[in-house]
Amino acid sequence: MKEKKQNPYGIKTPTTIEECRENLKKYYMTIGDDNLYVQENDMFKIEDFNSFSDIYKNVREVMNRLDVSSPSICPMVTLKKDVIDYMRETDQHISSNGFFEDEDNFTIWDNQKEFLKDGVPKWTKLDNQIYREFYMMTLGEFSGYVRNETPSVEPVMVKGK
């Protein structure tokens, strides 16, 4: 039986939409307790969130007008380690897999005021390849991203060889 991996900082990957919405409030910048802070729209009602697709639909008109490819949200995270350094250390060239599995690589803030004062807030697009791992960890399948735990690399036979 495969051992279930524990997330850093005690992050519980949600299995219900209610848990997902709680994680939105806990790990991302919000306006009050009811609205996710979205750069291209100012806010998105957390109660209306079922996946990132809902945010895309909500801000599509603004994105088209601004010629923006993806909405941005602000995870309450400050990177301690440069992602490129991590990729070099782990011999990765086109991904940063595992970066958000190590607490030494980043800090999670649990207070928005402290994060704004002492953290490094930054907008992160919903399709950001580096933050997808964090999105999957904190929002689970409701992010729209799914982690493939078993590599699907199989030998391929080439005809005539």
| Segment 64-69 mean pLDDT | 72
pLDDT tier at 158 (50, 70, 90 boundaries)? very low
pLDDT in tens, 9-59: 999 999 999 999 999 999 999 999 899 999 877 789 999 999 999 998 888
**Whole-prediction pTM:** 0.85
Q: How far apart are CA 48 and CA 5, in angstroms?
A: 30
Q: How far apart are CA 156 and CA 78, in angstroms?
A: 42
What is residue 33's predicted lDDT score, i.e. its pLDDT?
86
In this predicted structure, the answer to whether residue 4 has a pLDDT above a threshold of 70 is: no
What is residue 80's predicted lDDT score, i.e. its pLDDT?
97
For 91, phi and psi rounded to 5 degrees? 55, 45
